[in-house]
Amino acid sequence: MLIEGTHTLQASTAEVWQALTGQESLSKTLPGIEYIEPISTGETKIFGVALSIQQGPFTGRHLGRLAISKERYPLQYHLEIESEEQESFQAACTVQLQAQGQTTIVTYHGTLTSSKVHSLRTQKIVKGAIKYLLQEYFLELTELLYTQSNLQVATDHTTEKVGAAILRQARGNIAILPQSLTERKVLLSLSGWWHMFIAWLSHLIWKDAQQQALWLKRARQISMIGSIIALIWIGTRIPRRP
């Protein structure tokens, strides 16, 4: 069974590579991941994994191995996932990364073999389950990259001394105090969920990777403008001191 697809991520190739191949990142993004432990760290990196999946014919707990080999950092690598149960499955694909401006296009192409595929109807069910799991994985990956990027920005600014910003208006000035680190983390968490929803929506609307990236950029710009307008509106409702 053929497995192939393309996704656009808002991060550099180095950041995407680490998110795709790093043990810590995989422990946060693989659907139904219970644990992931290194077995071999040579030219071929092998991990022991346990997955608890609640999707179609793959429902259940699966023990197996995940191997990353033939690495050409940060452009290409080979990925294999194999279960160890009696009704086993094995997936093998080549993953390629291509930089495009401030985004990275991830393309994968490979095959899936499974003892669960007995008929054309079963094959369609398995394909649907694989599509759902891949979509879930890339949504988690998008959120992880977005959160990491923004938390880094927040951390970089914690050592800076920032004064209050002043918005001058005819009815009076509005003082905007700098956010605390806790407030920033809360906002970043909320924005991460919003970004994940927008990314999921873009994959439904657009098939072309460039259109997806453009749509995401415009959605963030509109969101930013809306936040500024809301802030100004709230400021005009604050009672003025006599």
pLDDT in tens, the chain (242 residues): 888 999 999 999 999 999 999 999 999 999 999 999 999 888 899 999 999 988 777 888 889 999 999 999 999 999 999 988 766 788 999 999 999 998 999 999 999 887 765 555 677 788 888 888 898 899 889 889 988 877 655 444 444 444 445 445 445 555 444 444 444 444 444 444 555 566 556 656 655 555 555 666 676 667 667 767 776 766 666 655 55
Is residue 100 located within the same domain as residue 191?
Answer: no
Q: Which of 120, 146, 172 is the last residue of a domain?
A: 146
Is residue 27 located within the same domain as residue 142?
Answer: yes
Is residue 32 located within the same domain as residue 125?
Answer: yes
DSSP state of 56: G
Question: Would you state the pLDDT for residue 242?
Answer: 53
DSSP state of 170: T
Output the CA–CA distances (angstroms, integers) from residue 93 to 35, 69, 99, 137, 152, in the order listed. 22, 11, 20, 15, 32
Domain containing residue 6: CATH number:
3.30.530.20
The tokens for 124 are: 């369609």
Number of separate domains in the chain: 2
Q: Say if CB 146 and CB 192 are below 8 A apart.
A: yes
Q: Which of 86, 114, 146 is the last residue of a domain?
A: 146
Q: What are phi and psi of 200, to 5 degrees?
A: -65, -40
Question: Would you state the pLDDT for residue 119?
Answer: 57
Range of the domain at 80: 2-146
Q: Measured between alpha carbons, how far is 216 from 147 in angstroms, rounded to an integer?
A: 16
DSSP state of 160: S
Q: Measured between alpha carbons, how far is 220 from 197 in angstroms, rounded to an integer?
A: 12
On the question of a cis peptide bond just before residue 38, with omega within 30 degrees of 0, the verdict is no
Is residue 15 located within the same domain as residue 112?
Answer: yes
The answer to the question of residue 221 being in a domain is yes
Is residue 136 located within the same domain as residue 173?
Answer: no
Is residue 201 located within the same domain as residue 132?
Answer: no
Alpha helices (H) along 22-162? 23-29, 120-157
Q: Which residues does 214 contact at the CB level (< 8 Å), separation at least 6?
A: none
pTM of this prediction exceeds 0.85: no
Q: Which of 146, 171, 192 is the last residue of a domain?
A: 146
The answer to the question of residue 70 being in a domain is yes
Question: Would you state the pLDDT for residue 240?
Answer: 56
Burial (Cβ within 10 Å: 0-12, 13-18, ≥19) of residue 1? middle
Do the bridges between strand 89-100 and strand 60-72 make them parallel or antiparallel, or are there none, so unpaired?
unpaired
Nearest by Cα to 168 from 176, 179, 180: 176
Q: Say if CB 209 and CB 8 are below 8 A apart.
A: yes
Nearest by Cα to 138 from 8, 2, 3: 8
The answer to the question of residue 210 being in a domain is yes
Residue type at position 31:
P
Nearest by Cα to 95 from 108, 82, 113: 108
Is residue 117 located within the same domain as residue 45?
Answer: yes
Q: Say if CB 142 and CB 136 are below 8 A apart.
A: no
The answer to the question of residue 156 being in a domain is no
